Amino acid sequence: MRRLSLLLALVALVLNLASAFAADEIGNLGVKTALRHMALDISQVETADLSKFKEDKNMSYWCELDNDFFISYESGKMPRIPAQAIVKKSALIDNKMSEPMLAIKRGMDSPLDEFAEDIKVIYESGAHVIFQAPPSVLNQIAKKESNHFKLESLRQNIRAAVNERHIYIPEIKSAETVSVDLNRIKSYIKTFENYKTRYSYSQGYLDAANFAVEEFKKLGFEAKLVEYLDGGKKQYNVVAQKKSPAAEKNEGFYVVGGHLDAMSPNPSIEAPGADDNASGSAGAMEVANIISKYPFAHKVRFVLFAGEELGLRGSKAYVSQLKASGEITKVLGMVNLDMIGFDKTAPISSLWQTRQTYDSFVSNFLAVAKESGKLKITMSYNVWGSDHVSFINAGAPAFLFIEDEYGANPHYHKTTDHLENLNPEMLHEFVRVVAQGLVNILSAGAEAKK
Ligand SMILES: [Zn+2]
């Protein structure tokens, strides 16, 4: 019953929008400079048709947002909309306001909220908002940019969120399957939480970092705190790797990392950061547990960063050190685990964020995820917001592997970010994908050399 009325309401809405669109369009013919935007539902559009659509000369710009597609064009010069696409919204762009901007946020709070009365929201879905603002307001909003809130001009055609249907994922059969110890992941997270705060400058952070060093050592890794200076203050990343055989000293290696520091409204006192990011730190440590048993274990370096919440400071400093030592050219690929435990609605959703040029590296891991089919996969080619950015900026292949519903996590950067709010199945699968991906890559490498 409810379904039927919902369906009728939807049909009415679509008809309504379509007719409103036609009338509006005619009404604005002749206004040469007027731009129109349109939000389309592309869930039924084939990849080839979508690619062709993107090339339409009448399109001023477009933005891919999972099953939605946001476009802009000169009024009266409508691009050829694919037959399977459904128009969800269409209107003229307000030419007294800024060009439409894409805002992406972490957590439920958005810096846009305080400007709600001044801005005009055109599109909203999860972590993404497309809006216009008076130029002076846009300037103020731009000042709020951080590694948790990002503004993008739409002029560059952004693939902000790409549905699994539109990305190439190789089909594989993993040879030797890894086994993940979920209880160990949970106990690492609990231990990290119990330091009360892992705010970068706190004793809790240092204690947590030392705990991680000792755990890596137990697995046979050479592990240490690596110092850097943050405005004169000493800060420490955790770095762990097994000793290479002399013959392989100059060979490349992979990096698995995540930030160990945490944030809250009162970070020097309490910042448990279970999801953000004890989950990723514990995940990296579980990957180390798995990899440590293989003969190629020395080809993976584990790094837990300080200062991510303060602006990727730990990873920036670490990458500078890699550049200074010349080691940056040996980084074959970097996996950044940041927030791998929160999921609001099933199925478990994952977001993969990288540059398209690194697709071949990322596809090793995508293939493992596809093999089990437990994750809903969304790809983003809009790189921002976490420690992989430091590596990508230095030319090293890297990707962020993160929960896709971070925009709906009510505990983000709160003192309520505890293990109880995390999804165990999700933790397990994220860690499995990373460990299995590395085993697949490194086993293949060993074989090729024989
Ligand atoms: Zn984080």
pLDDT above 90 coverage of the chain, percent: 84
* Residue 57 pLDDT: 95
| Model confidence at 158: pLDDT above 50 | yes
Ligand 1: centre distance to CA 422 (Å): 15
Ligand 1: centre distance to CA 104 (Å): 15
Dihedral-angle region of residue 371 (phi above 0 means left; psi in -120 to 50 means alpha; beta otherwise): alpha
The 10 Å Cβ neighbour count of residue 215 is 20
Query: Higher model confidence: residue 131 or residue 449?
Result: 131
Ligand 1: centre distance to CA 71 (Å): 31
Per-chain mean pLDDT for the chain: 91
Ligand 1: centre distance to CA 315 (Å): 12
Ligand 1: centre distance to CA 308 (Å): 7
Ligand 1: centre distance to CA 194 (Å): 18
- Report DSSP state, residue 276: I
For residue 305, which phi and psi values (nearest 5 degrees)? -95, 145
- Range of lowest pLDDT (18-32, 45-59, 134-148, 288-302): 18-32
Domain boundaries in the chain? 8-163, 182-449
Instruction: List CB-based neighbours of ion ligand 1 within 5 Å.
Output: 276-277, 338
- At 279 the three-state DSSP class reads helix
* Residue 258 pLDDT: 98
What tens digit of pLDDT does each residue of 47-86 get? 999 999 999 999 999 999 999 999 999 998 999 999 999 9
Ligand 1: centre distance to CA 428 (Å): 19
For the residues 352-364, what does the mean pLDDT come to?
Answer: 97
* Residue 446 pLDDT: 55
349 vs 331: CA distance, rounded Å: 28
- Range of lowest pLDDT (175-179, 194-198, 254-258): 175-179
Tokens of 367: 């293939």
Ligand 1: centre distance to CA 277 (Å): 5
Closest CA to 261 of 314, 186, 340: 314
Tokens of 295: 């003969």
- Report DSSP state, residue 98: P
Ligand 1: centre distance to CA 4 (Å): 42
- Report DSSP state, residue 298: G
**Cis check: omega of the bond before 347, within 30 degrees of 0:** yes
- Range of lowest pLDDT (12-16, 213-217, 295-299, 400-404): 12-16
β-bridge partners, 163: 378
For residue 184, which phi and psi values (nearest 5 degrees)? -70, -40
- Size of the chain, expressed as the number of residues it contains: 450
The 10 Å Cβ neighbour count of residue 34 is 14
Ligand 1: centre distance to CA 363 (Å): 23
| Model confidence at 415: pLDDT above 70 | yes
Place of tokens 């802009």: 72
Ligand 1: centre distance to CA 273 (Å): 9
Note whether 92 and 23 are within 8 A (CB).
no
Q: Is 109 exposed, middle or buried (0-12, 13-18, 19+ CB in 10 A)?
A: middle
Homologous superfamily (CATH) of 182-449 is: Zn peptidases (3.40.630.10)
Closest CA to 280 of 406, 410, 110, 151: 406
| Model confidence at 28: pLDDT above 50 | no
What tens digit of pLDDT does each residue of 319-340 get? 999 999 999 999 999 999 999 9
Ligand 1: centre distance to CA 77 (Å): 43
Ligand 1: centre distance to CA 82 (Å): 38
For the residues 260-264, what does the mean pLDDT come to?
Answer: 97
Ligand 1: centre distance to CA 74 (Å): 40
Query: Higher model confidence: residue 12 or residue 420?
Result: 420
For the residues 121-139, what does the mean pLDDT come to?
Answer: 93
Ligand 1: centre distance to CA 132 (Å): 28
**Cβ contacts of 353 within 8 Å, gap of 6 or more:** 379, 380, 381, 382, 383, 384, 385, 388, 399, 400, 402
* Residue 14 pLDDT: 45
Q: What is the pTM of this model?
A: 0.90
Tokens of 380: 């983003």
